Every structure is written in C-alpha cells, then in structure tokens.
Chain A
Amino acid sequence: MVGKNCFAIASDRRLGVQLQTIATDFQKIYKIHEKLFIGLSGLATDAQTLYQRLVFRHKLYELREERDMKPETFASLVSALLYEKRFGPYFCQPVIAGLGDEDKPFICTMDSIGAKELAKDFVVAGTASESLYGACESMFKPDMEPEELFETISQALLSSVDRDCLSGWGGHVYVVTPTEVTERILKGRMD
C-alpha cells in the first residue's frame, strides 16, 4: 500500500501443503536493497528460487552500475524473468514495493507470467486476493502517514486472511519511509 512518501508491504506467515501446515514463521517478503522489497506468493519453492535469481541479477547490476536498482527497473526485470517462462511458468505472483527517485513510493504486482500491474494505491496477491481487494478498496485512504498506513494495511491483511483457510498464523509488515524501515510481526488468529 502506498502512503505519503512511504509504503507498506505485508504478508501472512503460513507455509502449508494443501491443508496441512508445515511452518508458521515462513518469510514471504524479501529485501532486495534497503528501499526495495519484493513479496512472493504461490509455490514456496518457486518463490525462493525466483528470489535467489533476482538477488543474483541485482548484485550483478550493483557491481556494474555502482548503485541500487530503481523499483521501476526492477519491476521490468522481474517481468522479463517471468515472461521468459511463459509456457512453463513459475507458480508465483510477486508484489514489488520500493522508494524510487526522490523517495516517491512505487508498487506493482504481476501475474505468474509477468503482466505488470502498476497502481497508485494498493496491490494484492495470493490465495486471499479476492478478500484483500475488497478490504483494501474500502479501507484505503490516499496520503496516509506511516503509523496510519501500518494500521490500515494490518487491518486489511488480518481481516482478509481470517476469511481464507490457506493463509494465517499472524502477519509480517514492513513500513518503509525515507529514513527508516520498521518491521513488525502481528498477532493474528492461529488457525
């Protein structure tokens, strides 16, 4: 979700195989560089492989260009990587969030073959995406301060995740402003 000169990215913490829960502290949001985060939903193995590939490409980019990648460039990179596997895709939907030039927040999501969907307010992905669309649509306000943004995104996440059997076990929220990154673990229903 986008706020005033800041953004927040949140995920649930469950890792499961169909209806069986394997882990309740699974990390789904990864840091690419200090102001760029990517959340990967879907098949866990594809999420981890994709993350490793992206970190590899980003490190090469950093060595060549001697600077961090801009979020828009990174989104194009992810889109290209996913579209390359158009006919045998990764079972993974990324959500990318970062602070671009002049700390302007940038968010985007993609389907599993790399169709970018830029938005100015919020983007969602995952098994509970339909509930998330509804919750975010009603709770979102433009230009929220970091504290209010955190509250809104947490409420939207927890209320949607409560209505989805395959997500849950708390939440993990990162709120990023130009000066600091706040990582919070939320207490949710453990079912």
Chain B
Amino acid sequence: MSREAMEMPPKGGFSFDLCKRNDMLVKKGLKEPSFLKTGTTIVGLIFKDGVILGADTRATEGPIVADKNCEKIHYMAPNIYCCGAGTAADTEAVTDMVSSQLKLHRYHTGRESRVVTALSLLKSHLFSYQGYVSAALVLGGVDVTGPHLHTIYPHGSTDTLPFATMGSGSLAAMAVFESKYREGLTRDEGVKLVSEAICSGIFNDLGSGSNVDICVITKGAKEYLRNHMLPNPRTYISEKGYSFSKKTEVLRTKITPLREMVEVIEGGDAMEE
C-alpha cells in the first residue's frame, strides 16, 4: 500500500484493487452505493443545414431526483456534440476522454475532426469493456463530409440514422419523431420538433424531467441553447421563506481569520551582485 502511495499518479485506465475487498464487504452486509443514472430522453435529428441534438435535464439516484438541471449534451469538438444516457459517471468520463483524444488528433493532423472518428473511438472503448461501461450515446456533428447522426449502445454497436432517440424516454420521443419527421426541415421546424419530442419524454417518462436543452450544429457554427424550454417551473415557493425564531443551540464556536494573500512582486535587482 505504501509503495503505491510513493509512485506518481498511475498512467490511466481502471484500477481493480478494491474489487476483492468490496466483494467481501457486500457479503458481510454492506449495501453497495447506488450510482447516479441519467434516466433520460436524448434525441437527435438531421435537418436541412445540419444536426439538432436535444436532451432533458434530470439526473436520478434510484427513485430520487439528484440533480434537477444537469447537462447531458457534452462537448466533443467544436463541430461535434454528444448526448449521454446511462450511468452519469460513465457518460461523462467516456465523452471527456474521447474529446481529449480528438483534440490531440486535431493537433496531429491539423484538420477539423470528423464525426466518424469520434464514433470509432467511442465504439471501440465501449466494446472493449463489453457493456460494463454503461453509456448509451447519441453523437451528432457536421464535418467536411456533411451532417452525421449516430447512436452508440453500451456494448459498442452503432447505428447511423436521420433521427434517433435513446434513454428511458426514447419510446415517447420516437413516437413524436415517427409521426412528424420529414426530410429537409428548416432550423425552426427542427428545433420545435426536437422540443416536442423531449417534452413528450419529460411528461410521459418518469426517469426524465425538468428542462429541455438543445444544441444546433451547422457547418461552421454551433448554438448551445441551454434550458431552451422550462416547462416545469417551481411555482409554489412561499414568499416569506423560512425564518427560524428559535436559534440552533451551539456548543462551541471557533473563528479562524484567513490570512491576507501577500503579492510578491519580483524585485529585479535583489539577486544581482
């Protein structure tokens, strides 16, 4: 254990050294902590000039809503964004990792990233972990070859589609898409359709909720509309708020003043002899 602490931080990848201990603890009766999942409705569609991605903003921990306004549309490259469903830590880690790899690739080649590059990187990572990294993704972007939209399943299989939905609310959203989608939508029609699909997921699926995030990607430009629609505002807030007349009883108080940070300005001739 001490040898591990002496080394510099490990080179990357997963470390499995606590697995045996965790199995022993679970056998002894310790409940394994639940992971943050993103119940989710995520959608994407291709319109006349590019790609529109949409997502809800609820993160759940079992039946409890842990985050009412989380971000599920992750940045991959200036022209590529990815929505993630599944275990929150997995989607965040996988998209961050591939985003960094894409950036290095951009430096290496000197060209704008292509959506298929991101797709291959993501699918090979997910496949190598055989579905244990539970991340279901909708990847969309516009590159030199045109607009692209793909879905990636946790086991590593992918689909290329003109419109796609993933997550627990995918059936609700897909119902909206199947009835109203057509080729050659304009930007406003596309945004309206995506909002409708996400709202359908928000209102009909228990794992999705709160607000609608939208990202419109076109050739050379992107627009991230965070909280584009807020269909669930909090309306019953008491105007007075809580005021506590009976103060909390305090046993002991310790006040530590924080030191002022002193700016050290390099003198210049202090060391010159």
Contacts and interface: CB of A to CB of B under 8 A. Distances in A.
Contacts, number: 140
A170 B251 CA distance: 9
Contact of A87 (B16, B70, B249): B16
Interface string A54-97: 00110000000000000000000001001111111111110000
Interface string A118-160: 0100000000011001000011010000000011101100100
B242 A184 contact: no
B17 A88 contact: yes
Given A87-B132, A88-B16, A88-B19, A115 B89 contact: yes
Contacts of A93: 33
Contacts of A154: 248
Contacts of B93: 83, 86, 114
B10 interface: yes
B258 A34 contact: yes
A183 B70 contact: no
A24 to B, nearest CB: 12
A57 B9 contact: yes
B258 A186 contact: no
B36 A186 contact: no
A162 interface: no
A112 B35 contact: yes
The size class of the interface chain B forms with chain A is 35 or more
Nearest to B65: A133
B14 A85 contact: yes
B268 interface: no
Contact of B30 (A43, A83, A115): A43
B60 to A, nearest CB: 11
Given A83-B93, A87-B16, A115-B87, A182 B33 contact: no
Contact of B88 (A57, A88, A111, A139): A111
B248 A151 contact: yes
B145 interface: no
A182 B256 CA distance: 6
Which DSSP category, helix, strand, loop or mixed, fits chain A's interface?
mixed
Nearest to A57: B9
A180 interface: yes
Interface in B243-273: 244, 247-259
Contacts of A88: 15-22
A57 B87 CA distance: 27
Given A42-B33, A180-B256, A90 B248 contact: no
Interface residues of A, number: 53
Given A83-B93, A88-B19, A139-B242, A117 B66 contact: yes
A135 to B, nearest CB: 10
A181 B258 contact: yes
B172 interface: no
Contacts of B90: 86, 113
A85 B203 CA distance: 36
Contacts of A104: none
B183 interface: no
6 contacts: A43-B30, A111-B88, A115-B92, A155-B248, A178-B258, A184-B250
Interface of B: 5, 9-10, 13-22, 25, 29-30, 32-36, 59, 61, 64-67, 70, 87-90, 92-93, 132-133, 241-242, 244, 247-259
